[in-house]
Structure 1
Amino acid sequence: ESGTPRGRGRILAVLLTLLAATAAAGWYFLAGPGAPTTVPQLVNLSSAQAVAALDKAHLDARETQEFSETIAKGIVISSTPGAGASLGRGADVTLVVSKGKERYAVPELLNINQKTATTRLAKVNLEVGPVTTAFSDSIEKGRVISADPPSGTLLKRGSKVALVISGGPQPFDVPDFRGLTPQAAQDLAQESDLVLQIATERVFSTDYDKGTVATQAPADGQVVRGDTIELQISKGPELVKVPSVFQKSSAQAVAILEAAGFEVKVNRFLGAPLDICTGQTPSGGQFAPKGSVVTITIV
Structure 2
Amino acid sequence: MIGQTLGGRYELLARIGGGGMALVYKAKDLVLGRFVAVKVLRQQFMHDEDFVRRFRREAQAAASLSHPNIVSIYDVGQDEDTHFIVMEYVDGNNLNEIIRERAPLQAEEAVRIASQICDALDHAHHNQIIHRDIKPHNILIGKNGRVKVTDFGIARAVTSSTITQTGSVVGSVHYFSPEHAKGVATGEKSDIYSLGIVLYQMLTGRLPFLGESPISVALKHLQEPFEEPRLVNPHIPQSVENVILKAMRKNPQERYASAKQMLDDLETSLQPQRLNEPRLHFPGDDDEEEERTLVIPALKPDMRMSGEETVARGEDGKRDAGFEEPKRRWVMPTVLSAVALVLVGILIWAVLALKGQLSPKDVQVPTVVGTKYEDAKAQLEQLGLNVVDPPPQKASDQYDVGVVMEQDKQDMSVKEGATITLTVSSGKELTPMPALTGSSYDDAVDQLKSLGMTEDRIVKKEEYSDSEEGTVLSQDPPANQGFDPEEATVTLTVSKGPETVKMPNLIGMTLEEAKAELLKNNLRLDEQKISYEPSYVTKGTIFKQFPAEQNETVQVGTAVQVWISNGYPAEAKEKTYNVTVSPAVEGTASTIRIVYSDARGQNIEYKTKKIQSTTTFPVTLVLAPDTEGEIKVYRDNQLVDTFPVPYEDVPAATEPDVPASTDPYADPGFGQDNPNGYPDGGQDNNQDNGR
TM-score, scaled to structure 2: 0.26
Deviation at 1:223, TM superposition (A): 1.6
**What stretches of structure 2 of length at least 5 have no aligned partner?**
1-328, 431-435, 574-623, 629-647, 655-691
Q: Does structure 1 conserve the Cα–Cα contact (< 8 Å) formed by 2:397 and 2:429?
A: no
Q: Give 1:188's aligned residue.
A: 517
The answer to whether structure 1 residue 114 and structure 2 residue 443 are counterparts is no
Matches within 5 A, 1:242-281: 262-263=625-626, 281=649
Q: Does structure 1 conserve the Cα–Cα contact (< 8 Å) formed by 2:459 and 2:491?
A: yes
Distance (Å, rounded) in 1 between the aligned partners of 2:570 and 2:400: 93
Matches within 5 A, 1:151-166: 157-158=484-485, 159-166=488-495
Q: Give 1:227's aligned residue.
A: 558
Matches within 5 A, 1:17-96: 17-21=344-348, 24=351, 38-43=364-369, 44=371, 46-52=375-381, 55=384, 61=387, 63-66=391-394, 76-83=404-411, 85=412, 93-96=420-423
Correspondent of 2:540 among 202, 208, 211 = 211
Distance (Å, rounded) in 2 between the aligned partners of 1:264 and 1:8: 154
Q: Does structure 1 conserve the Cα–Cα contact (< 8 Å) formed by 2:438 and 2:472?
A: no
Distance (Å, rounded) in 2 between the aligned partners of 1:98 and 1:32: 39
Query: Cα gap change, 1:14/1:69 in structure 2, threshold over 3 Å: closer, same or farther?
Result: closer
Question: Greater relative contact order: 1 or 2 (C-alpha under 8 angstroms, separation 6 or more)?
Answer: 1
SS in 2 for 1:48: helix
Deviation at 1:72, TM superposition (A): 7.3
Deviation at 1:195, TM superposition (A): 0.8
Deviation at 1:69, TM superposition (A): 8.4
SS in 1 for 2:545: strand
Distance (Å, rounded) in 2 between the aligned partners of 1:145 and 1:238: 53
Correspondent of 1:202 among 508, 515, 532 = 532
Q: Give 2:507's aligned residue.
A: 178
Q: Does structure 2 conserve the Cα–Cα contact (< 8 Å) formed by 1:47 and 1:74?
A: no
70-79 vs 189-198, greater mean Cα deviation:
70-79
Q: Give 1:236's aligned residue.
A: 567
TM-score, scaled to structure 1: 0.51
Which has the larger helix fraction? 2
Query: Cα gap change, 1:96/1:222 in structure 2, threshold over 3 Å: closer, same or farther?
Result: same
Deviation at 1:262, TM superposition (A): 3.2
Per-residue CA deviation, residues 51-83 of structure 1 (Å, 9 max, x unaligned), is: 325646xxx655533467897765544534443
CA RMSD, Structure 1 to Structure 2 (Å): 5.4
Identity, % of aligned positions: 21
Q: Give 1:108's aligned residue.
A: none
SS in 2 for 1:240: coil
Distance (Å, rounded) in 2 between the aligned partners of 1:241 and 1:71: 92
Q: Which amino acid aligns with 1:240?
A: E
Q: Does structure 2 conserve the Cα–Cα contact (< 8 Å) formed by 1:40 and 1:53?
A: no
Q: Does structure 1 conserve the Cα–Cα contact (< 8 Å) formed by 2:525 and 2:559?
A: yes
Structure with max Cα Rg: 1
Per-residue CA deviation, residues 136-169 of structure 1 (Å, 9 max, x unaligned), is: 4xx6657989989x99xxx972313233434255
Query: Cα gap change, 1:194/1:34 in structure 2, threshold over 3 Å: closer, same or farther?
Result: closer
Number of aligned positions between the proteins: 225
Q: Which amino acid aligns with 1:42?
A: V
Distance (Å, rounded) in 2 between the aligned partners of 1:132 and 1:42: 44
Distance (Å, rounded) in 1 between the aligned partners of 2:572 and 2:379: 112
